[in-house]
Amino acid sequence: MINRFINTNNNKRYYTLDYFYKKKFNKKVTKISLNGNFSCPNIDGTVGYGGCIYCSKSGSGDFAGDKNKDLVTQFYEQKNKLSNKWNDTLYIGYFQANTNTYAKTDILKQKYEPILKLDNVIGLAIATRPDAISEDCLDYLEDLNNRTFLTIELGLQSIHDKTIDLINRHHSLECFSDMVKKLRKRNINVVVHVIFGLPYETKDMMLETIKYLNKLDIQGIKIHMLHIIKNTKLAKMYKEKPFPILTKEEYVDIVSDSIEILREDIVIHRITGDPKKEDLIKPTWLLKKFDVLNSIDKELARRNTYQGFNKSILNRVKERYDYYIKPNSLVIDATIGNGNDTLFLAQKAKNGHIFGFDISEKAIKNTKELLKNNNIDNVTIYQESHENLLNTLSKYQGKISLITFNLGYLPGGDKTITTKVTSTIKAIKDSYELIHNNGVILITVYPKHDEGNKEHQELIKFIKNKKHQIYHNDTNKEAPYLIELTKK
């Protein structure tokens, strides 16, 4: 197993908040949840009444402090509860319940500033709505950001208008994206909340929300599983007309897909919900938080993927190499290019052998130099077209574990020298004679340039009646993709 994701200190395959804090502050950082006794414009009638349909009576601050106590007292009570778990830590005051910028600036100062004065407090995290940050508030937040480590947590939940209306959000996607831009203009870190399993949303809709966020300048994300809490509008809706609730397996699958899509620089603050047992109606599997977290870890390990995996089809290619190549495998790199894949293959099949083909003198030279610099001696290179694979390696018929094609032109080389559709199809046909019964042919296709599009069209026809799998990492039809061909 090869884990190429590096933003972790505990073998997680995603960018964890704990890792981010320790890298930034060189110490454990703990968030202390506070209840500033704020209201919400979606509760008091400013934009709507009753709040979001899933919101609990505590304003989604179920683990925050007691709103009837002053904030400093809340802070120390929460801190004392955690002292047995973490006694040598820095702190961030987390204003969690309801909408924590929904007040005049002088009131915000009265609530925020005392927390900043406490020992070992290095920042604030403020949960709010995108429609509840005034221009005066933005100016104050900018000042705070210059004095402390500030994070603004914005609720989005979904990008889909029907869902937003159904859950009673009362703000638009445009309002959300505009506020992200305003905050980032002031260099303020933004963390976005999304909810999976909202009524009637499909898996594709949830993943579309993640893809949308990838395009925004955000620094963090919190992924929640929808949970139905007693005495909420959602509970009433579910009782009157039950809607499908994600199973744990479905949730793990969607979260894993989301992690693969998510930009690798976005910190994942949360990937599951944390409801109170006494208030929870559905789903009860959420109560086993660590089981959910472990299941996500296991699923990513099973896939051998990680955060940002879908950024490049080459990540999928390497994952397939990992899956198929054993230490003693015989492998053909039918298009060696600059030698990066050849090197990777040689390191995987360290007790086997790699046969490399290319017509470009520059490609041959670059590859040999790379292999020499890495002390690789299990590679034989042929300056020949891949259409001659079978003739050149006829004695290895039925013995090859994997043959890989990276179609197109040499990166950094002459773009007029490219693989051609006729020779490519012949080489692939001959590859079936070379691979053993459990062998595989991997073809990375680049349909964007003219010859690449011809290869794409002919390959789609060729594989129609072949055992195959196609991997896409992008909805753009011109993006590179991978074809996997097997005998059975």
34-44 pLDDT, tens digit each: 999 998 888 88
Report the C-alpha dihedral over residues 334, 337, 340, 341, rounded to 10 degrees.
-20
Split into its structural domains, the chain has a count of 2
pLDDT attached to residue 293: 95
Residue listed under structure tokens 């919900």: 273
Q: What is the mean pLDDT of residues 430-436?
A: 97
- Residue 475 domain flag: yes
pLDDT attached to residue 48: 79
Provide the domain limits for residue 384.
Answer: 313-486
d(CA 128, CA 61): 12
174 and 121 inside one domain:
yes
Q: Could you write out the DSSP letters of every residue in 101-150?
A: T-S-HHHHHHHHHHHHTSTTEEEEEEEE-TTS--HHHHHHHHHHHHHSEE
Q: Are strands 481-486 and 435-445 parallel, antiparallel or unpaired?
A: antiparallel
204 and 290 inside one domain:
yes
pLDDT attached to residue 2: 47
- From the CB of residue 450, how many other CB atoms can be counted at a distance below 10 Å? 9
- Residue 52 domain flag: yes
pLDDT attached to residue 226: 94
Q: Does the structure show a pLDDT above 80 at 412?
A: no
268 and 170 inside one domain:
yes
d(CA 350, CA 343): 10
Q: What is the mean pLDDT of residues 385-394?
A: 96
- From the CB of residue 290, how many other CB atoms can be counted at a distance below 10 Å? 8
d(CA 65, CA 188): 25
Q: What is the mean pLDDT of residues 267-273?
A: 93
Q: What is the mean pLDDT of residues 225-240?
A: 92
- Residue 8 domain flag: no
191 and 336 inside one domain:
no
Sequence-distant (≥ 6) Cβ neighbours of residue 277 within 8 angstroms:
287
End-of-domain residue from the set 309, 336, 366:
309
Q: Does the structure show a pLDDT above 80 at 125?
A: yes
- From the CB of residue 233, how many other CB atoms can be counted at a distance below 10 Å? 15
End-of-domain residue from the set 277, 309, 341:
309
198 and 56 inside one domain:
yes
Helices (H), 325-440: 340-348, 361-373, 389-392, 421-434
Q: Which of 144, 61, 145 is nearest to 99 (CA)?
A: 61
95 and 121 inside one domain:
yes
300 and 321 inside one domain:
no
- Using 50, 70 and 90 to split pLDDT, how confident is the model at 414? low
- Residue 9 domain flag: no
- Compute the radius of gyration of the chain from its Cα atoms: 27
- CATH number of the domain at 64, please: 3.20.20.70
Q: Which residue has the higher pLDDT, 369 or 479?
A: 369
Q: Which of 431, 410, 419 is nearest to 332 (CA)?
A: 431
Beta bridge pairs of residue 192 = 154, 221
pLDDT attached to residue 4: 58
Q: Which of 474, 468, 466, 471 is nearest to 482 (CA)?
A: 471
Sequence-distant (≥ 6) Cβ neighbours of residue 114 within 8 angstroms:
71, 72
DSSP single-letter state for residue 393: T
Portion of the chain with pLDDT greater than 70, in percent: 94
d(CA 331, CA 364): 17
Residue listed under structure tokens 């020949």: 384
Q: What is the mean pLDDT of residues 459-467?
A: 93
70-87 pLDDT, tens digit each: 999 999 998 988 877 767
Q: Does the structure show a pLDDT above 70 at 411?
A: no
317-326 pLDDT, tens digit each: 999 999 999 9
- Residue 7 domain flag: no
pLDDT attached to residue 409: 61
- CATH number of the domain at 324, please: 3.40.50.150
343 and 240 inside one domain:
no
207-228 pLDDT, tens digit each: 999 999 999 999 999 999 999 9
188 and 304 inside one domain:
yes
- Residue 228 domain flag: yes
The mean pLDDT of the chain is 91
- For residue 379, the one-letter residue type is V
H or E element in which residue 166 lies: helix 161-166
pLDDT attached to residue 47: 85
pLDDT attached to residue 11: 77
d(CA 95, CA 132): 14
Q: What is the mean pLDDT of residues 130-135?
A: 95
150 and 183 inside one domain:
yes
Confirm whether pTM is higher than 0.85. Answer: yes
Q: Which residue has the higher pLDDT, 10 or 430?
A: 430
End-of-domain residue from the set 279, 309, 339:
309
88 and 174 inside one domain:
yes
- Residue 427 domain flag: yes
Q: What is the mean pLDDT of residues 334-355?
A: 96
- Residue 12 domain flag: no
pLDDT attached to residue 449: 78
Burial of 278 per CB tally in 10 Å (0-12, 13-18, 19+): exposed
298 and 321 inside one domain:
no
Q: Which of 342, 434, 347, 338 is nearest to 380 (CA)?
A: 342
d(CA 96, CA 98): 7
